[in-house]
Structure 1
């Protein structure tokens, strides 16, 4: 017994956590950057391939759909394959998808490329969370998860700004050519420094669980993504059928997991109260983030009538400040725990979401910059402390399941937040247009502003619910 403990301690001492974290965070940064950077190129892709907005949206919907299907299965993959194998596979998929996307001669090929890229990201995100939980002790996890927050938030922040500059100077293909050498560097860096840190148990593979999981999570993401096309989309078969199938699939999947001795995704993680509370707060915060990321670019371009690149610059300070704040809140979490961060964080986000619900066509860009920056300071105070505190309560053998559940529900939160936000905004626009003077050239801008105001009220409500939940959080004491 003593010999086994000494062997385990020796292995732990041989692990070099910092190079491992650097390799996996660089890969995640590039994956998330390429995901958001393409949004600024949608109009260019529509022109080049002669497609409409509903078709080009599949570049995002398809990406989310793959993540929704693959991430739940990652708990099984993390127990079947080594850390180096999964890291290498994720980078190979990312590199292959990037090359195919850069050379795409038509829309069908670039859509396939996005699916390949999503497989890489779907493997890497749960792996990053799981590896951090394994290689860093609990008293340092807040700081490291804060650094992870910097990666996760900075990539989407600089994506639109940098891609706007790239698209204006070159073409949309150049976005992928910029990412390619960075991905290759990360792959080579990982081959040198990545170590196998996870325990391979090779549990049984239950095909029925995989099918039910794919139908359940995939149906939910697909249904809500289709609903995001407009206010009248909720009653369409393309929304109702996937949502109903998804709900049925999730119910059957959950029942099966609780009955199995070795489940594909161990849902017993929900028995840990702080994990469940942390998950709920992350879910609501993710809905808020996705709502803001959809609404503000549309408001800046459609209501304030500024260019895409200028809109990216307006949103850049908030993303950068959020990235800077994430390591700071991580260190504060290690010292003081989550309660003194998440409660003030939700107070800030609720207040700012309400203020955003009062914007107009006359609101200055400086006001938007200040409000957006303050909002994301609040987000930084919520995301990593809530996530880290929840995951800290899980026993080690639950880490893959906890990471998979956390990442999966973030994807679902994104799909729900986007769908509900766009629907509320479109409904507000339609109501205003029905009573407005159609000959007035300012009507379109005013209608969009009304829709955005209504949608921000939804974001405010989601944040207020998070504030109520935050009062129940307690610091997890790890022996």
Structure 2
């Protein structure tokens, strides 16, 4: 499942730059200028950014496999339309259709990555995802350069369609549902506000260098106003499009900003380097693409390694070091651009792009690991939106600076003007890298301060020390069969049931289900008949459970324990009620589960530890 999620991340970013090298033949075929053709990338990123928040609603409304297949099918359809496009307008519509798929696919893949592996391997798996998101836009340039030397640009659309079809088949075969399903509602006004906000800001940025400064400013202001209204609405409605709780975590905000700065480097260089090498060095698309290839391939290998290092040691040194290497070597690339050796140019670019492995994946992990399980999906939505925003801003700023500086230096000669333009985009990357270093230092200083405060704070309540924090809650509109599926997938025997407002509705266990089966389906008294192949006996029972709401079998009057209670209180509650586990509440919010087995383990561990100390004392005597 991680492989499928990684493939989805690769596809989503691969197509963002796949047509970049083909801009010249597309301009010739459809007789459009560079300001028009660049919308194949900018428009793509804008639409993808708008649809990212919608993914969170769909992710919790539809089964993972069916949703994944439907989204990838949209991308296949867009590829076919693009390959057959008779005009630039149809090609742009096809790209925007692909962008809808990208906007939905990126957060779905990241949510799968968060849901499937254990927490202690989050850095490694996020490193894989980061490697794929870095590989996607970079390898796209290499592969498109190879294809364009032997075939027309339409081949690119057919190739991407084939790749998406393969991922669609893999998802249909491998994926299973990993989301807690309910019936979240898409707030249309929120969608329109975030669409106007993002499009306004990103259009303003992209048109600032190639259009009217006044119109660009108005567009940005309108976008900011729309986003402000969007934020106000999210705080007032019951089912927000984007839950804003992740923004209350300073580490999350800083981690997202660092991720965006790393991605801005990738997109900026992936656009301006081919433009410079083809324009100033008269290289063909393949030559320009192969200049980028060594660093790209090495980054894929280094991504998971950087993730493992983050799991073991954190990113206190690796993230600022990554930004520093990025700044130093991209500066050297800018210097080498003025030399005749393209080989030197390519060699110096390798460590610059390798540094992104220590920035993008670890920064994502730093951001998302600061959130709890409840807010993590909303954090994924924010991070996925930031991908598209960073790509659009990085592409627009880099190409805008490249074109503006080159135009201002045109009297000095064609090559010199393009060299100045490229060095202008290099300065942009150096500035963003310096900001990244400052953010990384700030992030870990805040973290160290928080740990210092925690060390001087009173010790946590004993209940909090033994309770299970990762609570797998069920929605009040789920079926009993889906609850059993959650039990099997998560290795649990019961779970609390929550109303839409987050309050506790009840508690259901596998024992409740067994008692129901014994009463209503005597021939299916033992659910373990599945294990010996007697599936026919349980077919009718399972059909019944598939239409039965969990609240029909749940205990409504749930025994709970306050988060400030003592372990003695928990022991008394579990013993008196003859139950195995009890939810822990702080106010009306379920914050954990305390079980008899957890108390038993604590008691045995305490006894063995004290016995070990006594034995050591006796031995020493």
- TM-score, with normalisation over the residues of structure 1? 0.89
Matches within 5 A, 1:64-75: 64-75=45-56
Provide the C-alpha distance between the structure 1 equivalents of 2:111 and 2:388, rounded to a whole number of angstroms. Answer: 17
Matches within 5 A, 1:69-468: 69-227=50-208, 230=210, 233=211, 235-237=213-215, 239-434=216-411, 436=412, 443-468=413-438
Q: Which has the larger radius of gyration?
A: 2
Deviation at 1:198, TM superposition (A): 0.7
Q: 2:3 maps to what in 1?
A: 22
Note closer, same or farther for the CA distance 1:297–1:150 as it changes in structure 2 (3 Å cut). Answer: same
Report runs of 4+ in structure 1 exceeding 6 Å deviation: 475-479
Asked if the contact 1:34/1:175 (under 8 Å) is kept, the reply is no
Provide the C-alpha distance between the structure 2 equivalents of 1:182 and 1:299, rounded to a whole number of angstroms. Answer: 29
Partner SS state of residue 171, structure 1: coil
Note closer, same or farther for the CA distance 1:445–1:48 as it changes in structure 2 (3 Å cut). Answer: same
Deviation at 1:54, TM superposition (A): 2.2
CA-based RMSD: 2.1
Deviation at 1:146, TM superposition (A): 1.3
User: Which whole-Å deviations, capped at 9, do the CAs of 1:434-477 have from their partners, x for residues lacking one?
Assistant: 5x3xxxxxx11011111221221121111001101111334799
Provide the C-alpha distance between the structure 1 equivalents of 2:166 and 2:435, rounded to a whole number of angstroms. Answer: 43
Note closer, same or farther for the CA distance 1:197–1:221 as it changes in structure 2 (3 Å cut). Answer: same
| More strand as a share of residues | 2
Provide the C-alpha distance between the structure 1 equivalents of 2:141 and 2:362, rounded to a whole number of angstroms. Answer: 27
Provide the C-alpha distance between the structure 2 equivalents of 1:373 and 1:234, rounded to a whole number of angstroms. Answer: 37
Unaligned 5+ runs, structure 2: 452-468, 471-621
Note closer, same or farther for the CA distance 1:204–1:98 as it changes in structure 2 (3 Å cut). Answer: closer
Q: 1:469 maps to what in 2?
A: 439
Choose 188-197 or 295-304, whichever is displaced more. Answer: 295-304
Unaligned 5+ runs, structure 1: 1-19, 437-442
Deviation at 1:236, TM superposition (A): 4.5
Provide the C-alpha distance between the structure 1 equivalents of 2:219 and 2:274, rounded to a whole number of angstroms. Answer: 29
Provide the C-alpha distance between the structure 1 equivalents of 2:405 and 2:389, rounded to a whole number of angstroms. Answer: 24
| More helix as a share of residues | 1
Asked if the contact 1:143/1:331 (under 8 Å) is kept, the reply is yes
Partner SS state of residue 60, structure 2: helix
Partner SS state of residue 375, structure 2: helix
Q: 1:9 maps to what in 2?
A: none
Provide the C-alpha distance between the structure 1 equivalents of 2:387 and 2:226, rounded to a whole number of angstroms. Answer: 19
Deviation at 1:357, TM superposition (A): 3.7
Provide the C-alpha distance between the structure 1 equivalents of 2:167 and 2:399, rounded to a whole number of angstroms. Answer: 36
Note closer, same or farther for the CA distance 1:421–1:180 as it changes in structure 2 (3 Å cut). Answer: closer
Note closer, same or farther for the CA distance 1:422–1:32 as it changes in structure 2 (3 Å cut). Answer: closer
Deviation at 1:221, TM superposition (A): 2.1
User: Which whole-Å deviations, capped at 9, do the CAs of 1:184-214 have from their partners, x for residues lacking one?
Assistant: 2222221121111011232343222122111
Q: Which has the higher contact order (CA 8 A, sep 6+)?
A: 1
Asked if the contact 1:41/1:163 (under 8 Å) is kept, the reply is yes
Q: 2:615 maps to what in 1?
A: none
Choose 270-279 or 347-356, whichever is displaced more. Answer: 347-356
Deviation at 1:314, TM superposition (A): 0.4
Deviation at 1:180, TM superposition (A): 2.8
Q: 1:42 maps to what in 2?
A: 23
Provide the C-alpha distance between the structure 2 equivalents of 1:396 and 1:361, rounded to a whole number of angstroms. Answer: 51
User: Which whole-Å deviations, capped at 9, do the CAs of 1:380-423 have from their partners, x for residues lacking one?
Assistant: 10110110121011111212211111121222222222233233
Asked if the contact 2:48/2:101 (under 8 Å) is kept, the reply is no
Q: 2:521 maps to what in 1?
A: none
Deviation at 1:118, TM superposition (A): 1.0
Deviation at 1:261, TM superposition (A): 4.2
Asked if the contact 2:146/2:285 (under 8 Å) is kept, the reply is no
Note closer, same or farther for the CA distance 1:50–1:302 as it changes in structure 2 (3 Å cut). Answer: closer
Asked if the contact 1:157/1:320 (under 8 Å) is kept, the reply is no
Q: 2:515 maps to what in 1?
A: none
User: Which whole-Å deviations, capped at 9, do the CAs of 1:198-254 have from their partners, x for residues lacking one?
Assistant: 1123234322212211111122222223335x3xx35142x2332221111011111
- TM-score, with normalisation over the residues of structure 2? 0.69
Partner SS state of residue 318, structure 1: helix
Q: 2:39 maps to what in 1?
A: 58
Partner SS state of residue 339, structure 1: coil
